[in-house]
Structure 1
């Protein structure tokens, strides 16, 4: 997969492909026409038939009967039906039929013509409810059924011994097809966002070559053993030695957060991990990127094991949503800090709707030295970020972005000058619906410093903070501030702007009444910022 991404990126760099959105690229019309002409004109065994995106309503039988076609594309048309019988198409190895939204059925005899077929793509054929027998496609390497919204059942697949890529996501299937345990050549399996309820224990361990597994979004999924017992079977999935990419949702009631050393080592070896525990209705599916990322989401957890460090080890971002006893999680991390060491891969921490009672002891070193992004929403009993930073020994030296939303006890973001001397990397600050916050940046009066600079701060957004009086009262400067957004902060009467900021500020957004009531040391300053105002 990484090699494929690298090829696409190279083609983009050469302007042969254009980036469209996160998971899509397109080819320029002229380059496409030339490519189609070349591939259709080749002599020998590599000739292609391309009839994609031209509004076809049906497929002509005689077009496919050429003995020289190897790749055939009828994608992105308006075909309602396919020929029932074609004869023999022995050379065709690739058949692309995706994005024929009006196609409602694949005739039973149609696929029998393609005995050498290696790639079959029916993705986004949203009218298909079932497929004909596939067992004669013994050369098939890739079967792609992504976003076939009406697909309800699959035929047996045990005869597809050479199948390496099987994508069947965003469909209505509730059970795996028969013969899944026989797909020993399978390398990529995507069964995400279906309605699967049961996977028989032993199914995953039979695919010894499996490298990529995605079973997210099957919120009623159980792994059912022979005796009827229910288990998450994390052990079975991770027993695949070649597995490097894993995306999975696990029901809270079926999961224990205790892990053995063996499993910890296997989790470490994963290149990409997205693990959601307790998640029943999660975020939309994201296309896999080219970078190694490990994400852990924990929803509604209230029973924590003694060994919870595995949640953080090798993880790039972690989310706690509606979890009880979060303080105990960090308490255990601190208590085991000598054994755990620095969790230097974690760069993003997200906390939603959790309680906080504090941690009794402090780490002797920065446990999250590479933390870049903190997002905290509805986190009770936190007065400032130091409540979290002190126990974990955080220096926040790499922090780039911080967000507080709906934190009722928050008094200020941070106090600078003693424990945290500066935040050199900080670029973005966003505070919203924090009723008690009075000041964003405090300057510690016990500091030996005359002033503190936040050299890279670019954006400050403040919304619905009715008691906010200052962004900073004294001794903190923002030499590269670019944007200030203020909404429903009636007591905020001063902005930390000087003549130095005139050349850097690009936007000041807020209510006209608020702007008119701002207080300035020099009224000329106010005039200087008029060109960048966006008032409403």
Structure 2
């Protein structure tokens, strides 16, 4: 087994030909590979992954793999002819999804051993008749093949168990599918051309059926005959008004009717005694939920955005309910009936602005997760103190809450969200939450003293962003277990030296902390992987950052005081660097040392004129140079083989794009507003290009050569 996935620097695979005993080879995303003929010598190969190798156009060398069982060529957009694959007699799994160049699948008819075939997003396919000969096929994915209109050939696939036809908008007649007696799973979601589902009534073995977003369906009565059906998705079928036929589906375990706005009566659903999961979110026509009280086996119920519901008392009978979502049910004011749901573990009340009294919920002893975000009517959380088993509590945007002392009893609480609770000024009661791992106090502008938080020895994640009242972070130095800290937009902070004690810190966000001028204390954070100092306009010296040997991501965008980036050359592990809007930078030569850099953003660095040092960044995939008006020559960039995305918009100094023709792996190129460009013919060589931006390039008169 050999894994070389994402090794974009590989162009020649001939050295691999010596591995005569190799059984599995993974070369996915190796965009530099164009010739696979050397692989033909790997006679023992059973599995070959060439997905996303966009440089491959000829698969004929693969025809010699008589023992190959699994082949992945997905996203190989350069492939147009699959006839060589017809010789792979042992092939059991073939993935050609997103191979948009394929139009003829007739050669695949000879793959008699094929069990699984993926052709999703092959928009060039219109005729599936050759597939009718694949008698051993168990799984077929044709989703997003919008050119398919006739599925009658598929009726011959007697062994088919799973069929994906989602987003095949050209299909109007599903009657041929009635012959697929062995079918277990059928996905027809987003097939908006389907209006009649009666042929599906013959699929006696069907277990899972997805008809979501089939807006043309109005009558579901034929589905009543699917006695083996376990899962049915009819979400977003806005034409459905009558669900009574579904009452006969005695084996149904999961039913999704969300966004079926035409449904007003749910009484027929009361017959579904085996139902475990029911989705009725956004069914705004529902006002009476009393029929649901008969669903004794129900475990999960989603009634979110059912704004017509005012009385939840019938739900009190659902003794087996584990998860209940009543978010955005603004008509609900009384939650007392829910106190009887002794098995409830997760409860959602987001945006239920009518709720003011939470005392009835104190009876829910099994509750582990409770969401009350944006419930602005809640002022007293003391009743929640009875929920001894609570692990996660979300009270964000509950602006009526001022006293958090009742929560101090939550010894088992792991996650607490008080973000945007602007009424909170005293966090001292939180110091007793010894098990707390995650605490969000962002936008709590009333907080000035964080010293009580120093007692939270188990805390892993702390968000204090936008807490503009905080000036002293020294108490945070006691949080030895902290992994992630967000202090962004805390403009009152000037001294970060206390943070140097946080030896376990991996992620630190100090963006928009304009009071910070000295970052030298941060050099002690040896475990740091991600650091955001964007918009810290007071920073001029980045030399202390050179100590971060493990840093992967660094954001210094909008740090206009920075002129010298040479200290950053020591960051050998850096993969992502953002220096956009650092207008003081003129020399990028120190960046040439970043051998592992994957993404670099230098957009709006108007002082840069020479990009030649960037030619040494062999691992670079994404480069942003937009609005770098001083750049005139892009030829140095042509040596970066693995380039996938290049942004040069508003680089008005560029006139010649011919050097870019050598970037064979380029998938996205933005040259918009490059008014100096007149000839785009060189871009025709970019065979892997998916996205090209040339808007406002007023110098271009002919577009016939561009892709």
TM-score, with length taken from structure 1: 0.65
Contact 1:249 1:276 in 2 (8 A): yes
The 1:354/1:197 distance shift into structure 2, 3 A limit, reads farther
Counterparts of 1:196 and 1:27, CA distance in 2: 47
* Structure showing greater Rg: 2
Equivalent position SS for 2:434: coil
Match of 2:651 in 1: none
Distance 2:409 2:293 in 1: 23
1:236 aligns with 2:306: no
Q: 1:385 to 1:163 in 2, by over 3 A?
A: farther
Paired residue secondary structure (1:184) = coil
Task: Establish whether residue 96 from structure 1 lines up as the match of residue 194 from structure 2.
Answer: no
Counterpart check, 1:383 vs 2:488: no
Please state whether the residue corresponding to 2:509 is helix, strand or coil: strand
Aligned with 1:161 (options 238, 247, 250): 250
- Given that residues 399 and 426 in structure 1 are in contact (C-alpha distance below 8 angstroms), is that contact kept between their aligned partners in structure 2? yes
Tell me which residue corresponds to 2:407.
309
After superposition, what is the alpha-carbon deviation per residue over 1:177-201, rounded to whole angstroms, capped at 9, x for unaligned? 3333333322223344x34365645
- Whether the 8 Å CA contact 2:186–2:209 is kept in 1: the answer is yes
**Is residue 81 of structure 1 aligned with residue 172 of structure 2?**
yes
In structure 2, what is the Cα distance between the partners aligned to 1:39 and 1:370? 60
Cα distance change on mapping 1:456 and 1:513 into 2, 3 Å: same
Deviation, 1:164, is 0.5
Equivalent pairs counted in the alignment come to 453
| Structure 2 CA distance for partners of 1:487 and 1:423, relative to 1, 3 Å | same
- CA distance in 2 between partners of 1:421 and 1:440 (Å): 10
Q: Which residue of 1 aligns with 2:482?
A: 399
- Residue in 2 aligned with 1:277? 373
Matched, 1:190 2:279: yes
Q: Superposition pairs for residues 91-170 of structure 1, below 5 Å? A: 94=184, 96-107=186-197, 109-114=198-203, 117-128=206-217, 131-132=220-221, 134-146=223-235, 148=236, 150-151=238-239, 153-156=241-244, 157-169=246-258
Residues 1:462 and 1:36: Cα distance change in structure 2 (over 3 Å): closer
Q: TM-score, normalised by structure 2?
A: 0.51
Q: Cα gap change, 1:454/1:62 in structure 2, threshold over 3 Å: closer, same or farther? A: closer
Q: Work out whether residues 181 and 204 of structure 1, in 8 Å CA contact, stay in contact via their aligned partners in 2.
A: yes
Structure 1 position 165, deviation (Å): 1.0
2:355 aligns with one of 246, 254, 264: 254
Choose the corresponding residue for 1:428, options 486, 507, 530. Answer: 507
CA contact (8 A) 1:424 1:456 kept: yes
Q: CA deviation at 1:331?
A: 4.0
Deviation at 1:251, TM superposition (A): 0.9
Do structure 1's residue 369 and structure 2's residue 458 form an aligned pair? yes
Cα displacement (A) at 1:503: 4.5
**1:270-349 correspondence to structure 2 within 5 Å:** 273=369, 275=371, 277-278=373-374, 296=394, 298-303=396-401, 309=407, 317-328=415-426, 330-334=427-431, 337=432, 341-344=433-436, 346-347=437-438, 349=439
Match for 1:486 among 549, 556, 560? 556
CA RMSD of superposed structures (Å): 5.1
1:152 and 1:310 mapped to 2: Cα distance? 49
Task: State whether structure 2 residue 367 is matched by structure 1 residue 267.
Answer: yes
Contact 1:298 1:320 in 2 (8 A): yes
C-alpha displacement of 1:454: 1.3
- Cα 1:473/1:17, change in 2 over 3 Å: closer
Aligned to 2:115: 35
For CA contacts below 8 A with separation 6 or more, give which structure has more relative contact order. 1
- Partners of 2:48 and 2:346 lie apart in 1 by 29
Alignment match, 2:155: 63
Match of 1:509 in 2: 579
Q: Relative to structure 2, which stretch is displaced further, 317-326 or 220-229?
A: 220-229
Cα separation, partners in 2 of 1:488 and 1:342, compared to 1, 3 Å: same
Q: Does the residue aligned with 1:514 lie in a helix, a strand or coil?
A: coil
Distance apart, 1:31 and its partner CA: 4.3
Residues 258, 306 of structure 1: 8 Å contact kept: no
Aligned mates of 2:356, 2:51 — CA distance in 1? 40
> For residues 361 and 467 of structure 1, do their structure 2 counterparts lie closer, same or farther at Cα, with a shift above 3 Å needed?
closer
For residues 302-337 of structure 1, what are the alpha-carbon distances to aligned partners after superposition, in whole Å with 9 as ceiling and x for unaligned?
A: 136777539977665544443232335x34434xx2
Unaligned runs of 5+ in 1: 1-11, 21-25, 281-292, 444-451, 518-525
Structure 1 residues 258 and 424, CA gap change in structure 2 (3 angstroms) = farther
Conserved 8 A contact 1:258-1:307: no
Deviations 1:468-509 (A, max 9, x none): 4667989x954544554323334457889599x365556573
For residues 310 and 184 of structure 1, the distance between their equivalents in structure 2, rounded to whole angstroms, comes to 42
Unaligned stretches of 5+ residues in structure 2: 1-25, 27-45, 53-69, 74-90, 95-113, 118-131, 315-329, 377-390, 595-599, 606-707
- Is the partner of 1:460 in helix, strand or coil? strand
